[in-house]
Structure 1
Amino acid sequence: MPQHVVVTRSATEHAHTAEILRRVEAAGVSDVRVLTNDRITSPKGETEREAYARAKATLAVVVAPPSQLKPQPIPPSADWRLDLARGCPAHCQYCYLAGSLSGPPITRLYANLDDVLAPISSLSGTGSVTTGDAARGGEGTTFELSCYTDPLGIEHLTGSLATAVEQVGTGHHGDGASLRFTTKFDAVQPLLALPHGRRTRVRFSLNATEVERFEGGTASMPRRVAALREVALAGYPVGLTIAPVMPVPGWQQSYGTLLDDVAAALAGVTDLDLTAEVITHRFTPGSKEVLTGWYPRTRLEMDEASRSSKRSKFGGIKYVYPRETMTELRGWFTEQLAARLPAARLLYWT
């Protein structure tokens, strides 16, 4: 729940802003300011941590710029990326957005929702991940909604996710597209009765208990697993995003328990369509600098000396686990997913 909401002048010109403000008022947020311009100023604080806390407590209703309206390929997850918002209200100490999004971590909600969703029609039938792929072609052209936000965590304030699910589910953008998103939240009730047409895959970010302590402000693992069952019973294709995998002490037992909990939750679900994506922890020099500023007392392991470095195609460096560790992790998850969750299709490992 935000403490502060700001609305840019341009955002007031879009009908979706009225719906956002209605939801903000219903949620009891009292500090709502409508700006006379489109400039979002950085929150101030005596320390970087204080400025971060103020930014995390702030939502901005803005107009997505043209650069954000041009979908980008997002392998290995989906054909294309669509952004309903930019920024996340959670407090994950390993945050993947740190270092990749510039400026303070204010969550920006996009008022021009129709413009954001418009490319679905023109891009259906294109892409290099699921479109035309023998294994995943049944998903059609896929659009990832959670690259730069957790859309379920802000859905009570936006309604944007439900609009997208309903439009794609009813064929508003044609019959060749599907949506997918990952969440660390469990407020799925507004989605359950939507005419989703099995064209939205709801994935839950799940992890070992020892890693959950790094995920502040999110739903607990048991609540996420329970929500997974709810959406599966409502007919949605579902998925597990097991990330970020960390080889914590006793990790085999911890992740084994997690897989068993998921299996128990999904028992008896008919027409189950279940996928799994497994992503190991990694960080960049830039993200480490940002995260240690936000969470100066974190106990998250980010020791370059114990990692292997990899260069991206653009020359950036990221630190991943050594080859031996990665081989052990990959072998275990491949084997145990097949044994404990035989219905799950492992889409990729990274």
Structure 2
Amino acid sequence: MNLDLFPTVPAPPGPLDGLLKVSRIYLEPAVERYTRGRDILARFPDAERVEVHSHGNIPGLFGNEGNAEAWNRIKGTTLVLGVKKTMRFESNGRSADFLPPSMANGCVMSCAYCYVPRHKGYANPVTVFVNIEDITAAIRRHAGKRGPKHEPNTVDPRYWVYDIGCNSDCSADAVLSDNVRDMIRLFTTLPHAMGSFATKLVNRELLTYSPRGKTRIRFSLMPPSKAKLLDVRTSPIAARIAAIDDFVAAGYEVHLNFSPVVITEGWQAEYRELFQQLDDSLSEKTKAQLAAEIIFLTHNERLHEVNLRWHPKAEELLWRPGLQEAKVSQGGGANVRYRTGMKGKLVEEFKQLLSQHMPYCRVRYAF
């Protein structure tokens, strides 16, 4: 047979092409005892392996101020594998009822306002936890003890909602391992619970996961001109909007995450244009199930200093001392947000704009 008659068809580009080419893997000694750990290592056979005592304390990586200039290079070449030790659940009440033990933290993307790097110092590569069976078992036990949700709330009227991506982006994590698939399938078996995560990456592999209405995806959106500067290494806003109907058709509940809202001159016109694009693009089926959360920018002085080292243009929009005041976060962090009084008026103005252009889009919460 003449094989030249059957030329090789190149694989379509993957969602992380150009974002991640793993050349170094830091791993805890126990990682290879787990099937998931061995599976991930097999995906990157040519990567250098560096054994470390703890995934959260890697000498020369975390806390190394010299890494600020290498921010994106580290994200694009480094993977950390660890074992989740603490199965802690935190009450939330906004995006979800509970924040469960995370199956990953960090991200291949580089959104300039991301809060996760605050806890990692000067580098923020993805850390994947390989003991997924322990994590899913903990969620199963927690949800079982809760039982039915008798009182509807702003998170959801029917189910206890668990945010499975509060420290990472599950659309990207799904390229690295089957953790996300396992988690989405878990919720199809839990009668009183559902999963949820926000994303800035379109990964169409998730369309094959059969969520059966038990996972909520919140597509994060902002005006495209702002996203080009602030949402570094993410899917374009137009691509995110174009994917929404497909995810609804695949069995996901899809909400919108207008986050962060960054105040600049002319922001109202930019959001009017965004709302109009959404209204023109979304199907009636999508609109019927749509809801949104609105989160105005919270920034952090330490992150501001890091950003000045690798992306100072972003800080021209994010760091506005004349508009901002100090704020202690729920987690005890020292942050800044738009000034009290002014922020309340901005929130109301944003909600009115949304109502004018997308009256069917319920606002779950805004702050």
What TM-score bracket applies, with the shorter chain setting the length? 0.7 to 0.9
**Larger CA deviation: 248-257 vs 319-328:** 319-328
CA positional deviation for 1:137:
4.5
In structure 2, the residue matched to 1:17 is 37
2:88 to 65, 70, 84: 70
CA gap of 1:59–1:96, structure 2 versus 1, over 3 A, is same
Name the CA shift for 1:270/1:203 in 2 (closer, same or farther; >3 Å).
Answer: closer
Which has the larger displacement, 261-270 or 231-240? 261-270
1:81 aligns with 2:96: no
Please give the residue correspondences for 1:1-350 in structure 2 after superposition, counting only pairs within 5 Å. 1-6=20-25, 7-24=27-44, 30-33=46-49, 35=51, 38=54, 40-43=58-61, 47-57=66-76, 58-66=78-86, 69-82=87-100, 83-102=102-121, 104-124=123-143, 132-169=151-188, 171=189, 174-187=190-203, 189-212=204-227, 213-269=229-285, 272-298=288-314, 299-312=316-329, 316-350=333-367
> Retained in 1: the 8 A contact 2:67–2:122?
no
Alpha-carbon contact 1:153-1:184 (below 8 Å) kept: no
Output one character per residue of 1:321-346: Cα deviation in whole Å (capped at 9) or x when no partner: 12454233222222232232233221
Instruction: Give the alignment's Cα RMSD to 1 decimal.
Output: 2.7
Q: 1:346 to 1:20 in 2, by over 3 A?
A: same
Query: Partners of 1:36 and 1:102 in 2: how far apart?
Result: 17
How far has the Cα of 1:150 moved from its partner? Answer: 0.7
Structure whose residues are more often helix by fraction: 2
- Deviation, 1:92, is 1.3
Q: Could you tell me which runs of 5 or more consecutive residues in structure 2 were left unpaired when the two chains were aligned.
A: 1-19
Counterpart amino acid of residue 63 in structure 1: V
Return the letter of the residue paired with 2:106: G
1:140 Cα offset (Å): 1.1
Asked whether the 8 Å contact 1:5–1:61 carries over to 2, the reply is: no
How big is each residue's C-alpha offset from its partner over 1:171-205, in whole Å with a ceiling of 9 and x where there is no partner? 1xx31110000000011x22223231201001111
Query: TM-score, normalised on structure 1?
Result: 0.86
For the 8 Å contact 1:9–1:34, the answer to whether it is kept is no
Q: Is the 8 A contact 2:28 2:53 kept in 1?
A: yes
CA contact (8 A) 2:207 2:250 kept: yes
Give 1:80's aligned amino acid: F
Amino acid aligned to 1:90: M
CA distance 1:21–1:300, change in 2 (3 Å): same
- Cα distance in structure 2, aligned partners of 1:309 and 1:126: 38
Q: How many aligned positions are there?
A: 338
Structure 1 distance, partners of 2:337, 2:246, is 34
Q: Secondary structure of 2:118's match?
A: coil
In the alignment, the residues of structure 2 paired with residue 246 and residue 119 of structure 1 have an alpha-carbon distance, to the nearest angstrom, of 37
